[in-house]
Amino acid sequence: MLDKELIVLGKIVSVHGLQGAVKVYSFTDPIENILTYKEWILRKADEKFTVKLERGRLQGKVLVAQLKNLTDREEARKLADYEICIPFDRLPVLESSEYYWHQLVGLKVINLQEQLLGNIDHLLETGANDVLVVKPTAESIDDKERLLPYTDQCVLSIDLNVREVKVDWDAEF
């Protein structure tokens, strides 16, 4: 299982209590969705290993997780800064017009005038809508970084096979 494409769902940030529980920062939405995955692959640099989630809970704004066979606070402390991953194929299947953010990273962004604006570097979550952060490449029309709204008005089509996003966006913006 460790050889499949891994998706990062969160990170262990510190210990909690005296019985080996860990505090988790979750990238899922809602944050407690990370607790639905009962087997995690922990990764830090080149090290990877599998752990089983025994139980977890939301405590205020923090997630607390107890891993199977981990009852020592000092052993739990060693897991700080490990990413919590799962194989990509364990994620829920999306509708045909929906995408996971990691699928969009690296895609070329081309406007209606067929100008290459750059590649998607990452996405930002804002109150109104998500934002595509488009960084220039050697082949882009200029060296501008652009923040494009991830809305139906701006993003016209996404083709994962061609690795391209078509947008309605003026290069002068």
All residues at 6 or more sequence positions from 165 whose CB lies less than 8 Å from its CB, including other chains:
104, 107, 108, 109, 110, 120, 132, 155, 157, 158, 159
DSSP letters along 12-47, please? EEEEETTTTEEEEEE-SSSGGGGGG--EEEEEETTE
Degrees to nearest 5, angle at CA 65 with 99 and 3: 50
C-alpha 133: how far from its chain's center? Answer: 14
Look at residue 168 in the predicted model and tell me its pLDDT: 97
Question: What is the average per-residue pLDDT within 147-161?
Answer: 96
Domains of the chain (ranges, CATH numbers): 6-89 (2.40.30.60), 101-167 (2.30.30.240)
Q: What share of the chain in percent tops pLDDT 90?
A: 81
Q: Report pLDDT digits (tens) over 108-138.
A: 999 999 999 999 999 998 888 999 999 999 9
pTM of the model: 0.76
pLDDT digits (tens, 9 = 90+) for 2-46: 456 899 999 999 999 999 999 999 988 889 999 999 999 999 999
pLDDT of residue 126: 86
Measured CA to CA, the distance from residue 13 to residue 27 in angstroms comes to 13
- As a whole number, mean pLDDT of residues 93-122 equals 93
Residue 73: band (very low, low, confident or very high) from pLDDT cuts 50, 70, 90: very high
| Alpha helices per DSSP H over 52-167 | 73-77, 101-104
